[in-house]
């Protein structure tokens, strides 16, 4: 037996509703309806009604919502990139995982980590799921913003629906491509040299973060450098000289070697903000097999992916990820298109703290199953769910 303690701010109706639920998923043969389309259920189906309700809200498309303000700021930074939005979240596991080189036993594939509509379809867990189709359309400088879904714990910084932006830039792998990268690197280096930024770098390629065998190492190095310059410049736009924060101080950006199945070399970017190093994004030189799958030979590309909530929470001082979903005018009226302002907290409810313990069975119920049950019953009213021990 294990115990899970729910810290809650809830009404009595919630407890009654929770007691009345006989099992965590109500078996039903009704199809799953998403964005007006019906999908058959099967034994793999684990999408819940709380999640279905969020599909199509498209918070990042509202220009005066913090996520929309941030999305527009990033899109205007990359002003000559094609910025795509509104791509529906239903993808195949092949798009989400296989096409990107995820191994067959990757934990993200499991029903305890991802939402499946049925055996053949799932909700994307990241915007990288669209890389192949966008490259296949011949896009060479693009951004794609979208809602993504991952089964997760309940607390102030995790939510099963969040938003990501993917960006990529493709160059020809010939002399023209090389000249284009060199020219852009020159332009970006000059811009950064004039800016108040300190960069802790790692080599663009190294024995622990090598170029791909199929790439000319000189070109791979130039493209990785272009990626870093482009993202350092984005970090300046997002975090440089924010009123009352870094004023006068140089912005500090740190590059770290990383691993992603779909990029080599790979990096993570961190920014020093309000006294802490914050992880901002993942990026790298796209695995050639992704471009091959997309049918764009003779090309080399970089790509990055970032989470909008994480950055918006920092920039707008929003303390709880659930606030993004609020329809309370006291939240929504605080933000204006094109402006990064500091969120002023307000009292959501008269406080009513209750700690409740639930005994979980030994087998057959994953922690995330329990969290989805709580979420489906109580919406966003539960403060957090904490597993306090296992037998």
Q: What residue is closest to ligand DAH based on CB?
A: 305
Asked if residue 282 binds ligand DAH (CB under 6 A), the reply is yes
Characterize the bridge pairing of strands 251-257 and 263-273.
Answer: antiparallel
d(CA 224, CA 132): 20
Q: What is the CA radius of gyration of the chain?
A: 22
Element (H or E) spanning 372, and its range?
A: helix 367-378
Per-residue exposure over 328-366, b if at least 16 CB sit within 10 Å of its own CB, e if not: eeebeebbeeeebeebeeeebeeeeeeebeeebeeeeeb
| 303 sits near ligand DAH (criterion: CB under 6 A) | yes
Q: Which residue matches tokens 């069975």?
A: 361
Shortest CB 263 distance to ligand DAH, Å: 4
Give the interface size with ligand DAH as a residue count (CB under 6 A): 11
Which residue of 99, 147, 166, 372 would you call a contact of ligand DAH, by CB under 6 A? 166
Instruction: Give residue for tokens 């700021």.
Output: 73
When the beta carbons of 205 and 303 are compared against ligand DAH, the nearer one is: 303
Among residues 10 and 132, whose Cβ is nearest to ligand DAH? 132
Q: Which stretch binds ligand DAH (CB under 6 A): 12-20, 85-93, 187-195, 279-287?
A: 279-287
Q: Tell which one of 41, 65, 124, 126 touches ligand DAH (CB under 6 A).
A: 126
Residue 270 as a binder of ligand DAH (CB under 6 A): the answer is: no
CB of 367 to ligand DAH, least distance (A): 21
Is 284 a binding residue for ligand DAH by CB under 6 A? The answer is: yes
C-alpha closest to that of 302 among 201, 167, 139, 202: 167
88 DSSP assignment: -
Stretch 248-267 residues interacting with ligand DAH (CB under 6 A): 260, 263
Q: Does residue 128 touch ligand DAH according to CB under 6 A?
A: yes
Stretch that binds ligand DAH, among 32-40, 43-51, 298-306, 361-369 (CB under 6 A): 298-306
223 forms part of the interface with ligand DAH (CB under 6 A): no
Question: In angstroms, what CA-CA distances link 174 with 115, 216, 225, 253, 306?
Answer: 42, 10, 17, 31, 29
Sites for ligand DAH among residues 182-211 (CB under 6 A): none
Q: Check binding of 227 to ligand DAH (CB under 6 A).
A: no
**67 phi/psi in degrees, rounded to 5:** -70, -35
Q: Using the rule CB under 6 A, is 312 a contact of ligand DAH? A: no
- In this structure, the number of other CB atoms found within 10 A of the CB of residue 38 comes to 9
Q: Does 283 bind ligand DAH (CB under 6 A)?
A: yes
Q: What does the block give as tokens for 384?
A: 């957090």
Q: Which of 160, 177, 240, 305 binds ligand DAH (CB under 6 A)?
A: 305
Positions that interact with ligand DAH (CB under 6 A): 126, 128, 166, 260, 263, 282-284, 303-305
């Amino acid at each position: 037996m294990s115990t899970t303690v729910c810290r809650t701010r809830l009404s009595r109706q919630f407890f009654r509703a929770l007691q009345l639920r006989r099992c965590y998923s109500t078996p039903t043969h009704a199809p799953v309806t998403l964005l007006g389309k019906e999908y058959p259920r099967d034994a793999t189906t684990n999408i819940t009604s709380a999640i279905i309700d969020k599909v199509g809200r498209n918070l990042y498309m509202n220009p005066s919502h913090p996520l929309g303000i941030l999305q527009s700021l990033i899109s205007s930074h990359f002003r000559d990139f094609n910025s795509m939005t509104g791509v529906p979240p239903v993808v195949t596991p092949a798009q989400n995982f296989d096409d990107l080189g995820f191994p067959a036993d990757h934990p993200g594939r499991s029903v305890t980590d991802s939402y499946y509509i049925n055996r053949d379809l799932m909700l994307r867990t990241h915007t990288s799921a669209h890389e192949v189709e966008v490259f296949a359309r011949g896009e060479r400088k693009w951004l794609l913003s979208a809602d993504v879904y991952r089964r997760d714990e309940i607390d102030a910084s995790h939510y099963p629906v969040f938003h990501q932006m993917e960006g990529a830039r493709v160059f020809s792998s010939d002399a023209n491509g090389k000249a284009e990268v060199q020219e852009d690197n020159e332009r970006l280096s000059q811009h950064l040299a004039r800016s108040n930024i300190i960069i802790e770098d790692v080599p663009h390629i190294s024995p622990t973060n090598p170029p791909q065998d199929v790439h000319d190492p000189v070109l791979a190095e130039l493209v990785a450098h272009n990626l870093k310059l482009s993202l350092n410049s984005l970090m300046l736009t997002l975090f440089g000289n924010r009123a009352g924060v870094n004023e006068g101080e140089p912005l500090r950006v740190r590059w770290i070697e990383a691993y992603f199945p779909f990029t080599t070399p790979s990096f993570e970017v961190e920014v020093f903000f309000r006294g802490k190093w914050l992880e901002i994004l993942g990026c790298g030189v796209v695995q050639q097999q992704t471009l091959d799958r997309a049918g764009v030979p003779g090309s080399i590309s970089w790509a990055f992916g970032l989470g909008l909530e994480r950055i918006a929470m920092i920039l707008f001082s929003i303390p709880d990820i659930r606030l993004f979903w609020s329809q309370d005018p006291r939240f929504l009226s605080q933000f204006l298109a094109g402006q990064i302002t500091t969120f002023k907290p307000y009292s959501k409810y008269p406080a009513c703290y209750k700690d409740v313990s639930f005994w979980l069975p030994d087998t057959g119920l994953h922690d995330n199953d329990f969290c989805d049950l709580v979420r489906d019953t109580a919406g966003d009213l539960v403060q957090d769910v904490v597993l306090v021990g296992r037998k």
